[in-house]
Structure 1
Amino acid sequence: MPLLPKLTPLQSRFAASLAASVFLLLVYLSLTKPHFAYALELDSRIPSEDHNHYFIFDEDPLELSIEVEQEERIAARAEAGPALANNDAQNININIGETQNWVFPSDAVNGSHGTTGVGLPSEKLEEREIDIEVSELRKRAGTRVYISLNTCLQPSSNTTNATSNDAIPPQLTMYVSLSDSNQTPGPDADSSTQQTITVDGGYALFEGTADSSVYIGVSAPNTTTFVGIWNYEVAASIDAPYHGLHQNSSNLYFVDGDNHAALLITNDTTEADSNSTVYQEWMNMSPPWGVFAANQNDTAILGVKNSFCGLKTYAQIAANIDGFMNQNVAKMTNRGLGGKPKEQFYITGLNASSNYWGMLAMVGNSTASGNGVVGGGGTVWEYIDFQTKTEDNCALMYNLSFCSEVAYAVPTNPDKYPPFTGVPDLAGLYDSHAAQMYQYFNYSLQQIPCNTTSSSQYSLARNCDDCARAYKQWLCAVTIPRCADYSNTSPYLMPRNLGQPFVNGSTISYSEYGLTQQLLDAVATNSSRNPIIDETIRPGPYKEVLPCKDLCWDLVQSCPAALGFGCPLPGAGLEESYGSRSNNSGLITCSYLGAAYYLSGAESVLIPGQRIVALVGFVAVLMNLF
């Protein structure tokens, strides 16, 4: 048996120590699971694709993979810019030459839709059920995404001529990328991986389909002719544009004005009958629209003409828009052609002889506004042009008791009826006079056998109700004439009261206006149609938009011959008493109730088979009204 080598004392001590160390290591390994640290755990900058490092997983590999993916997504989002939530607008300043980035993340693109609210009354169509679930539809077609922008503030011009087009600041530019390879779209990014949307009048909209994150860039131009910053509002939605614009429709019409006020109306809101629920809902609701107005001398406002928040910042005048100190009047009405619901705006604080822009607008989506609301950023319509009068002897009137369809400027005397306090008294004078004249007519109509057999009726086509309607329309139009500036040179206007002095005491100069003695001596041009105008109001010289011929013809055709109504003949007084409708829808060349600029031509009503009959009036006091 071989003998073991004899160890020296030093070797014996080393062997004992080694055996003890090995024993302790075995005990440790049997009781614990060791963790080995590598450099990758200590330095997160080393990419996970570095295969030179060996990984020992303490956790589920799938869970670790998800965590790494989330970390990478957060890092990418930080590079792309702040995240936008659905229908949640963000407002920020941007400097000249700066580009800012945003991201509409994938979880929002594929997230839950917002709610729109009850909305406006409408003639609702029957909704059809759709069997395809939204999630399956998204999987196949992606999600419709809307990215909208409103410019709320813009730099000011260095030029001194504020009325020139040079005063309009340059526009922002919006860039949109649907590719993860371009997470910071902008002027320096690859144009093939992004879409460029030029902001127009402070408004931009991107509409497209996406199934992952959408990246947005907003860039301010470099300019040396403007100073300051832009401020804009950007929003993303999977429901509808957060900011709205109707660029090819104004839905707003100019009715008439005087030298400090204007009356505007919307189009009809419904074609429903007056006894329907929808009709009553429209008439009883709070006015849903507002109006911005701005003098056309301030051309800088054109830089934000399509932006709700921009108009709220720069418009000088508004009606039914929160945040304005001096609110103008807005209300629902059914006055006008067709008798359908519409909204009207009485705008004051205007300058004489000035051109204005008027923009219809809606706060939010008519139900609610602000973040979290579908369409909560407001909507703007295309602007219209309108002009105030120059002289002060025409006053805008509307909402009369008897002649309820009258809504236009009438002859006035500002010394007797001050513009801001005397209009109700002026309106009462005109209205009560017309109502009294109608009562005389009504006494005569009561003598006609209206409720009788068809063989005894005066007409099988018209009845006494038609006669009463036609007479009231005609009476209100002729006793309350539509007034225009005497300085207005439109050929369809009739001069009135040429022999009277102006309100300021001056008189007409023959040379200045090219007048003849014949005009001064003629009854038609040296007096008003309604005697109380010359006797009580005394407005001085003005011009009249003559009543339309068809009002007189309709009266003659609708009433029994026994009442003796007749219209003057052509060449024998017709042209001095009545005007003709224009084929140009932008002109009101004759007066009729419910007339509004850009509506009048389309709504012209000509009565077929018209016949002019010279008859004797039934009451002498009415003769000069014809």
Structure 2
Amino acid sequence: MQFPKLSQLQSRFAVSLGGTILLLLIYLSLSKPSFAYAAELEVRTQSGYDYPILLDDLWTNEEYSEPGEGDEQDVGIWIKRAPEGVSSLPNNAPQNMNIESGVTQNWMFAKEDIEGPHGVKGVGLPSDVTVTGNMSDDGVRMELKRQSSTSIWITVNTCLQPALEDTNAIPQQLQLYYSTSPDIDKPGTGTGGIQVEFEGGYGIIELEVDNDVYVGISAPNTSDFSGLWNYEIAASNDAPYHYWSNETDLLFVDGDNHAALLVTPDLDNASSNVFQDWMSLSPAPYGMFAHDQKNLSIKGVSRSYCGLLHNAKLTANIPEISNNNVGTMTSRGIGGAPKEQFYISALNASSSYYGWLAMSGNSTAHGAGVIGGGGRVWSNVTFRTKASDNCALMYNLTFCSEVAYAVPSNPERYSPLDGLPDLAAVYDSYASQMYQYFNYSLQQIPCNTTASAQYSLARNCDHCASAYKQWLCAVTIPRCEDWDNNEDYLQPRNVAANFTNGTIPAWVLNPSSQDQILLNSVQSNSSRNAQIIDSVIEPGPYKEVLPCIDLCYDLVQSCPAALGFGCPQGKYQNQSYQVRDPDSGVLRCSYLGAAYYLNDGHEAKDSMMGNRMGWMSLLITVLVLVF
């Protein structure tokens, strides 16, 4: 038989086709492929594997042919099973365990989970939060990122800890280990692996990996306690499931002998287009824990959300606890920016407390499957309650809405349980009445006139009205401190009056020469607003945090000279006002929106840097214009 003569192109095609068919036959003879239906996969257990993933979850809208006779029917896709004695860590799925002294428990975050589906974020907050420290600085990154690797986080929170026989001792911490080698699949005390710092009931591992990660939790081998630990562990390929930050991000505003008011820093700015979204959040996004510093049971879990949840004695706006103190949104303070405030009650007099800013989950979602669903905790701030009962904490007034501090009070007339609204009404209505008299005078000033006819090119009547209200509320509603507080910037007031329980002060019965000076001085023998405070409220002796002198300066600069405002000088100024010291963290004078440590730390540095850059820009602009 004579074959047809092929052209050069046809010859090349025939050779290529033949080679392709030969390679296909070789592949089929070696691989012996099988087929499986998504609906007919069975659970198969064999060495190194546990359970299948349904193909419906991986491929959709695909058709598969029936398997041929002799094809294997049980072939599927499996997730690697953890070694015996090692528990699996699914992605963003917290696991809770008890552990006894001297015991090590092991976990594995498998490659299939590491490369698996991600968690959900939830709705989120109205804008990127300016509160700092959303990530812990304690993560351990031991490997350089490779192109095929994935970022993972494994976090642990101690929820409960043993009771120590010595109540003054601090419970020992759990120990956290990890390994990326299958040769060390049970890391822990005495078995190898890399140990990670575990402090305050919190530990975090942060890695770039492309294979299984093995984790060990070891409990200290000691007999100095009774009971066991309980912890929560979670792994994630999105972000830490549990968070701790070394920033405080909580400011102490003021307190009395049974309550305290604290606020977050600004969460956005007043001109933001989502300002109303922030202000309408209900419930507010953050929570707070508080605890008496004398009670050491909190020491071992101070960085753990679930640890604080189970051990902190006081809370505010924590959704997992039904009977909470209050946490609400406010724009009070410098700049009028949105922030959250916490009113913590049921405190003990003359006591020091820790306070933690916290968040359940990631603000809008929490629990299994949620990115960051295990809660967030910031480093603690400290605050102290007053000793006397004649200073009462007030905030959210109607007219003097920026007032938020303790004011002179009388618990016999205005009970801390239900009388504070009446006390607030006395102060607020008096200030409102005084402002109305000022407003009548301001109406005589030609405010709505041409720029050349106004009293100032830099200020107008709106500036004057605002400055007067700030000054008026600060001086008619004085900030109250304990009589026994001996700070040199405090002004004694009402020293000749009896205490609120009717007791006559010792310095009145047997005055020394120093006492006699106070008794004969108008500034110390009466209140700044004697008509209301000394005659109506009758708080007895107390000390005042004097208003800041710059409030008076701003009033004089903002209002027309025709109104006759002026600031005292010399000793009269020292008896009526104080000067701010923004870098010390000490509140030496009172101004609306004040909070302890408001200008301390990184915020002060950022503010100063901003001012320096602003002045530098102005100087450069002037030089350019001149030269």
- 1:181 partner SS: helix
Change (3 A) 1:60 1:598: farther
Q: Name the CA distance, whole Å, in 2 between partners of 1:405 and 1:387.
A: 22
For residue 567 of structure 2, give the secondary structure of its aligned residue in structure 1: coil
SS of match in other structure, 2:437: helix
SS of residue matched to 2:251: strand
Shift of 1:600: 4.6
Over 3 Å counting, the alpha-carbon distance change for 1:546 and 1:435 in structure 2 is: same
Shift of 1:226: 1.4
What is the Cα-based RMSD across aligned positions, in Å? 2.8
Partner SS, residue 277 of structure 1 = coil
- Residue 528 of structure 1: CA displacement? 0.3
Instruction: State the match for 1:17 in structure 2.
Output: none
Match of 2:561 in 1: 561
Q: 1:524 aligns to what?
A: 523
Give the distance between the partners of 1:302 and 1:514, measured in 2 at CA: 48
Describe the superposition over 1:524-580 as per-residue Cα deviations: whole angstroms up to 9, x where unpaired.
000000021001000000000000000111111111111111111113x10000011
1:81 partner amino acid: V
Q: Cα deviation per residue 1:187-241 (whole Å; 9 max; x = unaligned)? A: 1223xxx221131100000000111111110000012221110000000000000
C-alpha contact 1:268 1:342 (8 A) present in aligned 2: yes
- Counterpart AA for 1:214: V
Contact 1:146/1:236 (<8 A) preserved? yes
Letter in 1 for 2:92: N
Q: 2:180 aligns with which of 170, 178, 181?
A: 178
Partner-residue secondary structure (3-state), 2:261: strand
Q: Aligned pair in 2 of structure 1 residues 262, 142: CA closer, same or farther (>3 Å)?
A: same
Counterpart contact for 1:172–1:198, Cα < 8 Å: no
Residue 94 (str. 1) matches residue 110 (str. 2): no
Number of residue-to-residue matches in the alignment: 525
Evaluate the alpha carbon distance shift between residue 112 and residue 169 of structure 1 in structure 2; reply closer, same or farther with a 3 A threshold: same
Partner of 2:8: none
Question: Aligned-pair distance for 1:124?
Answer: 10
**Change in CA separation of 1:272 and 1:436 when aligned onto 2, cut-off 3 Å:** closer
The residue type paired with residue 221 of structure 1 is P
Which runs of structure 2 are paired with 1:261-340 in the superposition (5 Å)? 261-271=259-269, 273=271, 276-286=272-282, 287-340=284-337
Q: Distance in 1 between matches of 2:191 and 2:129?
A: 47
**TM-score under structure 1 length normalisation:** 0.80
What's the % identity of the aligned pairs? Answer: 56
Tell me what 1:502 maps to.
Answer: 499
C-alpha deviation, 1:383, in angstroms: 0.3
The 3-state SS of whatever aligns with 2:83 is: helix
Structure 1 distance, partners of 2:501, 2:367, is 52
Equivalent pair of 2:83/2:185 in contact (CA under 8 Å): no
Following TM superposition, by how much is the alpha carbon of 1:451 offset from its aligned partner in structure 2, in angstroms?
1.1
Establish whether residue 120 from structure 1 lines up as the match of residue 149 from structure 2.
Answer: no
3-state SS, counterpart of residue 157 of structure 2: strand
Partner of 1:579: 578
For each residue in 1:217-271, what CA deviation from the matched residue of structure 2 results, as whole angstroms up to 9, or x when unmatched?
0000012221110000000000000001112x11110000000000000000012
Question: 1:236–1:514: structure 2 CA closer, same or farther, 3 Å change rule?
Answer: farther
Corresponding residue of 2:136: none
Paired AA for residue 150 in structure 2: T
Distance 1:447 1:552 in 2: 22
Paired amino acid for 1:526: N
Shift in alpha-carbon separation, 1:512–1:487, aligned structure 2, 3 A: farther
Cα 1:46–1:373 shift into 2, 3 Å: closer
1:337-377 CA distance string (max 9 Å, x none): 11000000011000000000000100001111111111110
Pair member with larger Rg:
1
Report the CA distance between 1:513 and its aligned residue.
8.7
| Structure 1 residue 300: Cα displacement | 2.1
Letter in 2 for 1:557: Q
Residues 143 and 512 from structure 1, CA distance in 2 versus in 1: closer, same or farther, beyond 3 angstroms? farther
Q: Does 2:150 correspond to 1:143?
A: yes
* Matched ranges for 1:12-27 at <5 A: none
- Cα deviation, 1:285-326, whole Å, max 9, x if unaligned, reads 120000000000112201101000000000101011124343
Q: Which runs of 5+ in 2 are unaligned?
A: 1-44, 49-67, 131-144, 612-627
**Within 1, Cα distance between the matches of 2:147 and 2:398?**
61
- Match of 1:408, SS? strand
Structure-2 residue corresponding to 1:252: 250
Contact 1:398 1:404 in 2 (8 A): yes
The equivalent residue for 2:216 is 217
Shift in alpha-carbon separation, 1:215–1:505, aligned structure 2, 3 A: same
1:92 maps to a residue whose letter is M
Deviation at 1:106, TM superposition (A): 1.5
8 Å contact kept, 1:79–1:183 = no
Inter-partner Cα distance in structure 2 for 1:99 and 1:411? 58
TM-score of the aligned structures, taking structure 2 as reference length: 0.80
1:427 to 405, 424, 449: 424
User: Residues of 2 paired with 1:118 and 1:289: CA distance?
Assistant: 15
Worse-matched range after superposition: 353-362 or 279-288? 279-288
Change (3 A) 1:279 1:64: same
Residues 98-109 of structure 1 aligned to structure 2 (within 5 Å): 98-109=103-114
Question: Does 1:152 find its partner at 2:155?
Answer: no
How far 1:277 moved relative to its partner? Answer: 2.8
- How far 1:583 sits from its partner (Å)? 3.9
Deviation of 1:66 after TM superposition, in Å, equals: 8.3
- Once the two structures are superposed, residues 444-486 of structure 1 have per-residue CA deviations (whole angstroms, 9 ceiling, x without a partner) of 0000111112222111111111110110000000000000000
Shift in Å, 1:119: 1.1
Q: Which residue of structure 2 lines up, in the alignment, with residue 400 of structure 1?
A: 397
Contact in 2 for aligned 1:80/1:183 (Cα 8 Å): no
Aligned 8 A contact 1:585 1:597 in 2: no
User: Does the 8 Å contact 1:174/1:218 carry over to 2?
Assistant: yes
2:279 maps to amino acid: M
